C-alpha cells in the first residue's frame, strides 16, 4: 500500500463523531499557556482521532515509552513552528496525553482539536505510510 492509498483508506473508513473545541483565538492561547506553557502547538481542524490496531508486542513497547496507541490526522490551521502552512494536512506521532477535551499532546507538539472530528480505527502499518508527520 502506498501513501496515497493509505491516506484515502483512512479518509473513507467509517468513524464516530467526537467533539473538539471552538473557542476564540485568545482562549486557545490562554488554554495552551495554562496547560503547556512554552510548548510548540498546532491548531487542527477536520481531524481524525485514530485508534491503532497493532500487535501486542508493539503495544507493550509503546506503553514502556509512555505512548498511547493513538495518532491524529487533520488539516492544519496554524503551526507555531511554521512546519506546515494553513491548509496542509498532518499525521501526528503517537499520543502522550489528552486533556481539556481538545489538547492532543505528542512528544514534541500540542495539537488543539478544533470543531468536531471523527474517531476511527486503523492499522499502525497503514498509518506509518502516511508520511507528512509532525516531526516528533
Question: Is residue 134 domain-resident?
Answer: no
Q: Are 94 and 68 in contact (CB under 8 A)?
A: yes
pLDDT tens-digit profile of 51-96? 999 999 999 999 999 999 999 999 999 999 999 999 999 999 999 9
Q: Is the pLDDT of residue 2 over 80?
A: no
Phi, then psi, of 40 in degrees rounded to 5: -70, 150
User: Is residue 18 classed as helix, strand or coil in its secondary structure?
Assistant: strand
What local confidence, expressed as pLDDT, does residue 25 receive?
66
Question: Is residue 133 domain-resident?
Answer: no
Question: Is residue 106 domain-resident?
Answer: yes
What's the domain count of the chain? Answer: 1
Is beta strand 16-18 parallel, antiparallel or unpaired with respect to 110-113?
Answer: unpaired
Question: Is residue 58 domain-resident?
Answer: yes
Question: Is residue 31 domain-resident?
Answer: yes
Residue 50 CA neighbour count, 13 Å, CB half? 28
Question: Is residue 135 domain-resident?
Answer: no
| pTM across the whole model | 0.87
Question: Is residue 132 domain-resident?
Answer: no
Residue positions counted in the chain: 136
**Residue range 87-116: average pLDDT?**
94
Question: Is residue 7 domain-resident?
Answer: yes
What local confidence, expressed as pLDDT, does residue 5 receive?
80
What local confidence, expressed as pLDDT, does residue 120 receive?
95
Domain that holds residue 67: 3-127
Model confidence band, residue 136 (pLDDT cutoffs 50, 70, 90): very low
pLDDT tens-digit profile of 19-44? 887 766 678 889 999 999 999 999 99
Amino acid at each position: 500500500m502506498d501513501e496515497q492509498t493509505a491516506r484515502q483508506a483512512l479518509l473513507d473508513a467509517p468513524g464516530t463523531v467526537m467533539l473538539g473545541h471552538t473557542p476564540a483565538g485568545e482562549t486557545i492561547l490562554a488554554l495552551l499557556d495554562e496547560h503547556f506553557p512554552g510548548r510548540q502547538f498546532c491548531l487542527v481542524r477536520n481531524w481524525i482521532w485514530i485508534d491503532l490496531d497493532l500487535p501486542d508486542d508493539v503495544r507493550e513497547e509503546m506503553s514502556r515509552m509512555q505512548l498511547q496507541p493513538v495518532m491524529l490526522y487533520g488539516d492544519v490551521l496554524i503551526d507555531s513552528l511554521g512546519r506546515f502552512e494553513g491548509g496542509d494536512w498532518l499525521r501526528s506521532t503517537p499520543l502522550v496525553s489528552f486533556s481539556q477535551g481538545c489538547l492532543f499532546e505528542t512528544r514534541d507538539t500540542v495539537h488543539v482539536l478544533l470543531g468536531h472530528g471523527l474517531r476511527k480505527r486503523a492499522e499502525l502499518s497503514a498509518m506509518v505510510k502516511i508520511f507528512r508527520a509532525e516531526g516528533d
